[in-house]
Amino acid sequence: MAKIRLTKEFHFEMAHALWNYDGLCRNLHGHSYILFVTVIGKPEKDQTNPKQGMVMDFGDLKRIVNETIIDKLDHCIVLSKNAPIEKFQQIEQLFDRVEVTDYQPTCENMLLDFVERIQPELPANVELFSLKLHETATSFAEWFASDNI
């Protein structure tokens, strides 16, 4: 049986700053991110299975991505652990949702983090095929499983 790809689109608002960067993005700023998550698998053949004909329930994919990424990062400030984050934490009202990462929070590094968050949550018969993260309307990064074998 042929494999089918499913894609779900997610939107979230997030701010970040690139610590020790030599351009404008070193300043705290935000984006309206759009994340496309594509999985691949074979549709369920068992006629007694309520998911018969599906690779994966879109609702299950939505739950996984919301729980592992969107709920954690929406309206959050993401900073590298190398930035002076203690200064932000002193102003609780403006900075009560701060995510500290082990990496520079670029679009590229965020995708690698998202792969690590999503893959273990997928059903055994479903694989993560690709991720696409739009940082702006015209700028995005992509990750493909086939490039990382």
**Strand spans (E) along 42-138:** 76-80, 98-101, 126-136
Output the pLDDT for position 3: 96
pLDDT over 70 percentage in the chain: 99
Domains and CATH numbers, the chain: 4-148 (3.30.479.10)
For residue range 91-140, what is the model confidence (pLDDT) as tens digits?
Answer: 777 777 889 999 999 999 999 999 999 999 999 999 999 999 999 999 99
Q: Whose CA is closest to 28, among 10, 15, 47?
A: 15
Output the pLDDT for position 5: 98
Q: Which residue has the higher pLDDT, 43 or 95?
A: 43
Output the pLDDT for position 1: 66
Q: What is the largest CA-CA distance in the chain?
A: 59
Work out the mean pLDDT of the chain and round it to a whole number: 94
pLDDT at 82 over 90: yes
What's the CA gap between 91 and 66, in Å, rounded?
27
pTM of the predicted protein model: 0.93
pLDDT at 38 over 80: yes
